[in-house]
Amino acid sequence: MTTLMGTDAPFAVSVRGVNMVFDGVHAVRDATFDLEKGRFLTILGPSGSGKTTLLRMIAGFGKPTSGEVFINGLAVGSVPPHRRSIGMVFQKLALFPHMTAAENVAFPLRMRRFDARTIPDRVQRYLDLVKLGKLGDRRIHELSGGQQQRVAIARALVFEPDLLLLDEPLAALDRKLREEMQLEFRRIQRELDVTTINVTHDQREALVVSDEIIVMDHGRIQQKARPEATYRQPSNAFVANFIGVTNFIDGMVTAVDGDTIAFDRPGLAGRPGNGFRPLVGMAARGALRAEQIRIAGGREALGDVDTVFEGAVTDAIFEGERVVYEVTVPDLDGAALRVFDHDPVAHSQHEVGAAVAVGWNARDVLVFGD
**Per-residue pLDDT, 147:** 93
Each residue of 233-246: pLDDT tens digit? 999 999 999 999 99
Is residue 191 scored above 70 in pLDDT?
yes
pTM of the model: 0.90
Segment 97-114 mean pLDDT = 95
Overall average pLDDT of the 136-157 stretch: 94
Contact 200, 210 (CB under 8 A): no
pLDDT at 195 over 90: yes
Phi-psi region of 218 (alpha: psi -120 to 50; beta: other; left: phi over 0): left
pLDDT at residue 2 tops 50 = no
- Angle value at C-alpha 175, between 216 and 223, nearest 5 degrees: 15
pLDDT at 4 over 70: no
- Average pLDDT of the chain to the nearest whole number: 93
What are the residue boundaries of the structural domains of the chain, listed by start? 11-237, 261-369
Q: What is the pLDDT of residue 284?
A: 92
- The per-residue pLDDT for 7 is 57
pLDDT at 1: 34
In the predicted model, what is the mean pLDDT of residues 319-345? 92
Number of neighbouring beta carbons within 10 Å of residue 347: 13
The conformation of residue 4, written as its DSSP 8-state character, comes to: -
CATH number of this structure's domain 11-237: 3.40.50.300
- Examine the pLDDT at 154 and tell me if it is beyond 90: yes
Which pLDDT band holds residue 6 (cuts at 50, 70, 90)? very low
Phi/psi for 31 (5° steps) reads -75, 125
Question: Do the beta carbons of residue 358 and residue 289 sit within 8 Å?
Answer: no
What is the rounded distance in angstroms from the CA atom of residue 87 to the CA atom of residue 58?
12
More confident: 354 or 184: 354
Percent of the chain exceeding pLDDT 90 equals 81
Q: Is 300 helix (H, G, I), strand (E, B) or coil?
A: helix
Tell me which of 3.90.1010.10, 1.10.3720.10, 2.40.50.220, 2.40.50.140 is the CATH number of domain 261-369: 2.40.50.140
Please answer whether residues 32 and 221 qualify as being in contact, where contact means their C-beta atoms are separated by less than 8 angstroms: yes
Residues 233 and 225: beta-carbon distance below 8 Å: yes
342 pLDDT more than 90? no
Q: Quick one: pLDDT band at residue 250, thresholds 50, 70, 90? A: very high
Closest CA to 291 of 330, 246, 335: 246
Cα distance between residue 326 and residue 314, in whole Å:
6
pLDDT beyond 90 at 82? no
Query: Using one digit for the tens of pLDDT, what is the confidence trace for 35-51?
Result: 999 999 999 999 999 99
